[in-house]
Amino acid sequence: ELKVEQNPLFLSMQEGKNYTIYCNYSTTSDRLYWYRQDPGKSLESLFVLLSNGAVKQEGRLMASLDTKARLSTLHITAAVHDLSATYFCAVSRRGSQGNLIFGKGTKLSVKP
Amino acid sequence: GAVVSQHPSRVICKSGTSVKIECRSLDFQATTMFWYRQFPKQSLMLMATSNEGSKATYEQGVEKDKFLINHASLTLSTLTVTSAHPEDSSFYICSAATGLSTEAFFGQGTRLTVV
């Protein structure tokens, strides 16, 4: 059974600091996704990682994938308040881009 | 491109009634649509997968007679919550995918409150 573990679940950061969110998954998968969710809203797609060693960056966020270690990371550089949200990683099940197992999410709060 | 629209965004219904939620792909044909449920402060859980013109596949523990899914066309899937109870109150989110995309695209979600 595919399980996805995310940590930390809560993260309080000061503006300007760096931090990393970790996402471990239990069985082989060929797709890993990172999403952002603001309160009361749906998901916003951040990154799609499809291969071992994949690294993608957008603004202050960078995601990477190590399929051998079954680990993905979401690195936040020089955090700003606007990054406050809940971040989810999700792993594809059965090779389907929509059949996803989600981590529990990391609630990020960036304080001045 | 790749816009998925869900309707309604919010609905309040009385206990025992049924409510229908629509999920539409506006600018692409979705061969497969997915329905998720998210309880407050929790993660998303897949409820069912629907393919156009065939019966939905439900995840373990999801009652197919309570959560009726219809995927009548390549741009529309509906989720009907029958005989709703307060414990069905949740945020329901659909996503839609084509065979060509590397990801599915999420709708805006529907906040269901059963009173």
Give yes or no for a contact between B20 and B68, defined as CB atoms under 8 angstroms apart. Answer: no
Residue A2 has pLDDT above 70, yes or no: yes
Q: Which residue has the higher pLDDT, A34 or A53?
A: A34
pLDDT for the residue B28: 92
Residue B46 has pLDDT above 90, yes or no: yes
Identify the residue among B44, B100, B102, B105 best suited for mutation to test binding to A, counting A beta carbons within 10 A and taking the highest.
B44
Give yes or no for a contact between B45 and B95, defined as CB atoms under 8 angstroms apart. Answer: no
A78-96: average pLDDT: 94
Band of the pLDDT at B21, cuts 50, 70, 90? Answer: very high
pLDDT for the residue B1: 64
**Minimal CA separation from A86 to chain B, in Å:** 10
A42-69: average pLDDT: 95
Rounded to whole angstroms, the Cα distance separating A38 from A110 reads 13
Residue in chain B nearest A103 by alpha carbon:
B43
Residues in B closer than 8 angstroms to A97, CB to CB, are: 97, 101-104
pLDDT for the residue B72: 84
Band of the pLDDT at A96, cuts 50, 70, 90? Answer: confident
At A95 the three-state DSSP class reads coil
DSSP state of A91: E
At A16 the three-state DSSP class reads coil
Band of the pLDDT at B96, cuts 50, 70, 90? Answer: very high
Residue B50 has pLDDT above 90, yes or no: yes
Residue A30 has pLDDT above 80, yes or no: no
Residues 15-54 of A with CB under 8 A from B: 31, 33, 40-43, 45, 48, 50
A98 at the B interface (CB within 8 A)?
Answer: yes
pLDDT for the residue B92: 98
Give the distance from CA B2 to its chain's centroid. Answer: 17
A10-29: average pLDDT: 95
Q: Which residue has the higher pLDDT, A27 or B107?
A: B107
* 3-state SS string for chain B: CCCEEEECCEEEECCCCCEEEEEEECCCCCCEEEEEEECCCCCEEEEEEEECCCCCEECCCCCCCCEEEEEEECCEEEEEECCCCHHHCEEEEEEEECCCCCCCEECCCEEEEEC
Rounded to whole angstroms, the Cα distance separating B87 from A96 reads 29
Residue B82 tokens, joined? 């029958």
